[in-house]
């Protein structure tokens, strides 16, 4: 009985210590920095599709195909490279952290632009509001000529 238990234990150890199923490194592996850029664009496209999917489809735009063409790669090369990096947890974590940093930076840049535009629009609205108040206070001012109304 002990022999059977020892045999099962040893067999379990051998089967449990199976080598990682790491895929072979593809011949045309996408470099990490390029993979970071591709994944960043893919995340942005994924978000955009959620917001305006019908607009993209109506115009016949396939965002994923556009990104692959932009980086001069095909879908198989991307899939193999993504699979390879995904099996190397540390490398993939590094790529994803870089993607996150890039997207955060882009978000901050666009939030700053949006804030500036909002300030400009607020200033325009305030100026128009002041102009209307001046016109109400002095009805003799003519809005179109910038001068005084005359009675003809």
Beta-sheet strands, E only, within the chain: none
Could you tell me if residue 51 is inside a domain? yes
Q: Mind listing the pLDDT tens digit for each residue in 46-97?
A: 777 666 767 777 888 788 888 899 999 999 999 999 999 988 889 899 999 9
Domain count within the chain: 1
**Per-residue pLDDT at 15:** 52
Could you tell me if residue 16 is inside a domain? no
Mean pLDDT of 31-51: 86
Q: Mind listing the pLDDT tens digit for each residue in 96-133?
A: 999 999 999 999 999 999 999 998 988 888 888 888 88
User: What one-character DSSP code corresponds to residue 4?
Assistant: H
With the C-alpha atoms ordered 83, 84, 90, 95, is the resulting torsion angle positive or negative? negative
**Per-residue pLDDT at 140:** 74
Are 88 and 66 in contact by the 8 Å Cβ rule? The answer is no
Could you tell me if residue 116 is inside a domain? yes
SS3 letters for 69-133? Answer: HHCCCCHHHHHHHHHHHHHCHHHHHHHHHHHHHHHHHHHHHHHHHHHHHHHHHHHHHHHHHHHHH
User: In DSSP terms, which residues pair with 148 in a beta bridge?
Assistant: 141
Could you tell me if residue 79 is inside a domain? yes
Could you tell me if residue 146 is inside a domain? no
Q: Which domain holds residue 76?
A: 25-137
Residue 39 has which token pair?
């994944």
Res. 34: pLDDT tops 90: yes
Spatial distance between the Cα atoms of 108 and 22, rounded to a whole number of angstroms: 37
Could you tell me if residue 14 is inside a domain? no
């Amino acid at each position: 009985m002990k022999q059977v238990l020892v045999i099962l234990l040893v067999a379990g150890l051998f089967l449990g210590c199976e080598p990682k199923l790491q895929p072979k490194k593809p011949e045309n592996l996408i470099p990490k920095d390029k993979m970071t850029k591709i994944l960043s664009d893919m995340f942005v496209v994924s978000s955009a599709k959620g917001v305006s999917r019908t607009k993209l489809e109506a115009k016949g735009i396939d965002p994923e195909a556009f990104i692959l063409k932009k980086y001069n790669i095909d879908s198989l090369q991307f899939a193999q490279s993504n699979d390879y990096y995904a099996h190397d947890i540390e490398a993939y974590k590094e790529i994803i952290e870089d993607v996150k940093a890039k997207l955060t930076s882009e978000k901050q840049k666009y939030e700053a632009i949006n804030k500036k535009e909002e300030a400009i629009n607020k200033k325009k609205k305030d100026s128009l509001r002041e102009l209307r108040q001046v016109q109400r206070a002095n009805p003799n001012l003519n809005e179109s000529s910038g001068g005084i109304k005359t009675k003809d």
